[in-house]
Amino acid sequence: MDFATLIGLLIGFGAIFVAGYVGGTDPHIVFGRWEAIVLIVGGTFGATFTSFPFKIFWPGFIGGLQTAFSQFDFHVRDVIATLVSFAEKARREGLLALENEAAALDDDFMRKGIQLVIDGRDTEIIRKVLETEVSYVQEKGTKAELVFTAMGGYSPTLGIIGTVLGLIGMLKGLASLGNSTNVAGTIGVATAQAFVATFFGIMLANLLWLPLASRIKERYGQLLLVREIMIEGILAIQAGDNPRLLEEKLLAFIDPAERESNIEEGGSVAEPEVAPSSA
């Protein structure tokens, strides 16, 4: 599990709850209005479910949560080191010599690409197959991000609807107060309770749905970068490029600060720990 995501959510929601108690707000009014939570959560899910087909909504929601909370190790430098070592061996012994190394790879995407090279497939076919795989992963990430972004948009709107319903109920209840001496106090409490729905709608949008959408986008961005590096490395191996030239070419994809240390420090590994293509 990625504890950074969990810690961020705990800090955000914890700050809200602490502010509610320490700030003198009546906890019963703010946190005890469970009907407001039901309206916001249920309404948000209902509106989002209406916006997307089930085959997009459910995989996007569940897959998005798994992506946001799972710990993926994108060892980009190890991937580059592996590709460079493959290029060196292919130049020395030929492409067929990579068969055992390819079979030992944990990553399905890289294994498929190297196997296509070993099988002697045309460059354009290899590129097309790998780019199709990348497009699928990109589309999957985009759908998951859209689901959570939509939830972040509907949640505040449902909060406003809940507030309007609360105000309507308050105004209807004024008639029953008659000449009560505590009219002002009663109106104050009812108004506060009415705005609880807006509070929950905005809170969930900005502390849960939208941050998770950003996390999903960032995770898939990392994965797509790794896939792009793999494609360029696999095609360079097929073309017989110089390993040192290949290394420089692939290092251009990563942050300059990470290029300063020698890539050999990570060693050439045959099984880079990257997220599976189905992530």
CA distances from 95 to 81, 84, 127, 193, 270 (A): 17, 13, 17, 71, 15
Q: How many domains does the chain have?
A: 1
* Domain assignment of residue 55, yes or no: yes
Residue 266's pLDDT band (boundaries 50, 70, 90)?
Answer: very low
* Domain assignment of residue 199, yes or no: yes
* Domain assignment of residue 9, yes or no: no
Q: Which two tokens stand for residue 64?
A: 């998005």
Across the range 251-255, mean pLDDT stands at: 84
* Domain assignment of residue 185, yes or no: no
* Domain assignment of residue 272, yes or no: no
Residue 259's pLDDT band (boundaries 50, 70, 90)?
Answer: low
CB 259 within 8 A of CB 58: no
How many angstroms separate the CA atoms of 215 and 223, rounded?
A: 12
CA distances from 3 to 7, 8, 175, 218 (A): 6, 8, 52, 16
* Domain assignment of residue 180, yes or no: no
Least confident of 42-51, 110-119, 141-150, 267-276: 267-276
* Domain assignment of residue 61, yes or no: yes
Residue-level pLDDT at 191: 76
* Domain assignment of residue 152, yes or no: yes
Across the range 55-62, mean pLDDT stands at: 91
Burial of 113 (0-12, 13-18, 19+ CB in 10 A): buried
Q: Which two tokens stand for residue 176?
A: 């029953």
The pTM of the whole model exceeds 0.85: no
Residue-level pLDDT at 183: 61
Q: Determine the residue type at 38.
A: V
How many angstroms separate the CA atoms of 261 and 91, rounded?
A: 25
Residue 161's pLDDT band (boundaries 50, 70, 90)?
Answer: confident
CB 116 within 8 A of CB 99: no
For the CA atoms of 188, 189, 195, 199, what is the dihedral angle to 10 degrees?
120
Domain of residue 148: give its range. Answer: 34-75+128-158+193-266
CB 108 within 8 A of CB 22: no
The angle at the Cα of 25, spanning 24 to 29, to the nearest 5 degrees, equals 155
How many angstroms separate the CA atoms of 229 and 74, rounded?
A: 12
